[in-house]
Chain A
Amino acid sequence: MTRVNAHVAGWLLLLPAVAFLALFTHWPAVATLIDSFHSTPRGRRPAAFVGPDNYAVMIDDPVFWQSVSNNLWFAVGTIPVSIALAILMALWVNDRLAGRTWLRTAYFTPTVLPMIAVANIWLFFYTPQYGLLEQVTGLFGAPSHNWLGTPDTALACVIVVAIWKEAGFFMIFYLAALQQIPPSLAEAAALEGASRGYYLRRIVLPLLMPTTMFVLINAVINAFRMVDHIIVMTRGGPDNATSLLLFYIYEVGFKFWDTAYAAALTMVLVVVLGAVALAQYLFLERRTHYQ
């Protein structure tokens, strides 16, 4: 086979994958960008080029801004807590205690359960009057409270569910990283008179840093991709208190059928996620500096 033939054969082998990738990933992305500069086609009126109108609408759209702010609060509420919990659980589970395998499985369960089922279970916890939370607070004589139905507490409730789900998932990464640390480091530190806290602070946490960066980026992406719990538990309510970006896009696109505006909103989300992904790449480049 000549060199040219080899190249042609190579491209032919790539073609099916490239075709599907272009069809289902690249073309929709480009189409979304184009759509975001057009009006929504309605009935017999086709889409017309409207320039940045959709983006102008966005700037004046209070629900959009509330979704952004909700999403930021959601990220701030879930990420640090779930990472801290993940580290704590991993440290605990990594110690040689009896029933360790069982514990690991228990922590990982939230991640493998279907999200719809999980959301429904939590829905029951939060149910007014006879939900689990109500029954517990009722024991202490607290007045009844509609946790998911009150704008003040609804977002917090959703945050708790997300933490519960994410922490176990992140723990797996930390557990893997902890098992990479040779036990002789702990022994050397102990001999040198380092307390357990000092060892954790000076040795373990720095060695977990690459994992933390990786987990952090994933956590940010997850926070902005969150939609399923919202759909099952609150549908963005009450009064848009739990409307997150992706959920708002879903509502605009598939309930109000304002596809052009949804496309513009999607572009915002794509830019946010793209920036996070870029940060991840830049970081991964430099990650190997001490290994």
Chain B
Amino acid sequence: MAAIVLTNVSKDWGETRVLDEVSFAAEAGSLVVLLGPSGCGKSTTLRLIAGLDQVTAGRIAIDGRDVTGLPPARRRVAMVFQSYALFPHLSVRENIVFGLKARSVPAAERERRLARAADVLGLAQLLDRKPSQLSGGQQQRVALGRAIVAESPVCLMDEPLSNLDAQLRGEMRREIRALQQRLGMTMIYVTHDQVEAMTMADRVILMDRGRIAQNGPPEELYARPRTAFAARFIGTPPMNVVPADPLGVTAPRPGLLLGIRPEAIAIGTEGIPATVRNVEYLGADSLIETEAAGQTIFAKADGKSELSPGAAVRLAWAETDCHWFDTETGERL
């Protein structure tokens, strides 16, 4: 049974439609990542599921129960806010157990959950501090703790790791994923970070201006982007999407967009002639910016590239690595 189902959900703020007929399902016990550029409606989607805002049209069901009209408290949903929403006058401890007290969870159970959350999140030393005495990342972990101890069947997270350093973020990512799987929570997780999306998600929903651009497992978004938008959004660096005709490659039909990932391009003595514009050394590999037939194409090479700007090179790729998109609609062929 699917735990969270959105059916044709739309949301208007005044005249503007910020969500347009969004439908998706999150399986019970799965982690779904909402991914997309800033302002595409990710937070709005979470707020509608949590019941903090009301839908303009459509239905939301949690665990087979229609919750469209229910107040937040009756949806049994935990949430990490993008702005943390910590209570400034309460200590870390009181912040974390706030919901448990409100729901009259027995003290012993409360302590047990608090201790475990503090341990997982590395907050044990900070329990008696006020939020104002914490760093941004520590505050974020408190917000995470408050959502975790609720042990709700559904947990919504709005960019919960955006303020952490790379190492802590990696640890937290694994902790959250492990916790989610151990407790069998259904989680909807909003992020800008593709690495988070790719590593954590059972399913990624890519949003674009209030619509779903693509909904599928991470490998599908990478391997078979459904639109030119998805192709340009997924991957670091993203896929090259350029008009095919000027390049003189063989295309299924004229007037198409060709998509080709930088890591699929081989720089050598065969293929399309191009000029090196710039070389960025990234550590494990180098990103080479080239110009071919007046268009910018990025290629990736292992290690430190010896090429220098102005060098003439040739770009080649396998037929199977080509993605073809309609110029008008951006749809994949």
Give the residues in chain B near A130, CB-CB below 8 Å: none
What is the bound-complex CA distance between A198 and B102, given in angstroms? 7
Stretch in A202-210, A212-220, A253-261, A267-275 touching the partner: A202-210
With A193-B103, A194-B73 already in contact, the answer to whether A202 and B50 are too (CB < 8 A) is no
Specify which of A189, A193, A290 is in contact with B88 (CB 8 Å cutoff). A290
Instruction: Give how many B residues have a beta carbon under 8 Å from the other chain's beta carbons.
Output: 23
Decide: A192 and B146 in contact? CB cutoff 8 A: yes
Decide: B132 and A291 in contact? CB cutoff 8 A: yes
Specify which of A187, A192, A209, A290 is in contact with B102 (CB 8 Å cutoff). A192
What is the bound-complex CA distance between A187 and B89, given in angstroms? 17
Chain B proximity mask over A182-196: 1 for CB below 8 Å, otherwise 0? 101101111111110
With A184-B85, A290-B89 already in contact, the answer to whether A192 and B98 are too (CB < 8 A) is yes
Q: How large is the interface on A (under 10, 10 to 19, 20 to 34, 35 or more residues)?
A: 20 to 34
Specify which of B72, B77, B83 is in contact with A182 (CB 8 Å cutoff). B83
Specify which of B71, B103, B130 is in contact with A290 (CB 8 Å cutoff). B130
With A290-B132, A291-B132 already in contact, the answer to whether A194 and B85 are too (CB < 8 A) is no
Is B26 engaged at the interface, CB distance under 8 Å to the other chain?
no
Decide: B98 and A194 in contact? CB cutoff 8 A: yes
Decide: B98 and A189 in contact? CB cutoff 8 A: yes
Chain A residue with the shortest CB-CB distance to B94: A202
Task: Please report which residues of chain B, range 47-89, place their CB below 8 angstroms from some CB of chain A when the two chains form the complex.
Answer: 50, 52, 71-73, 77-79, 81, 83, 85, 87-89
Decide: A190 and B132 in contact? CB cutoff 8 A: no
Is B150 engaged at the interface, CB distance under 8 Å to the other chain?
yes
Most chain-B CB neighbours within 10 Å: which of A184, A188, A206, A207?
Answer: A188
Decide: A192 and B81 in contact? CB cutoff 8 A: no
Chain B residue with the shortest CB-CB distance to A184: B85
9 A-B pairs within 8 Å (CB atoms) are namely A184-B85, A190-B52, A190-B73, A191-B73, A191-B99, A194-B99, A202-B87, A203-B87, A206-B89
User: Which residues from chain A sit less than 8 Å from chain B, CB to CB?
Assistant: 182, 184-185, 187-195, 198, 202-203, 206-207, 209, 290-291
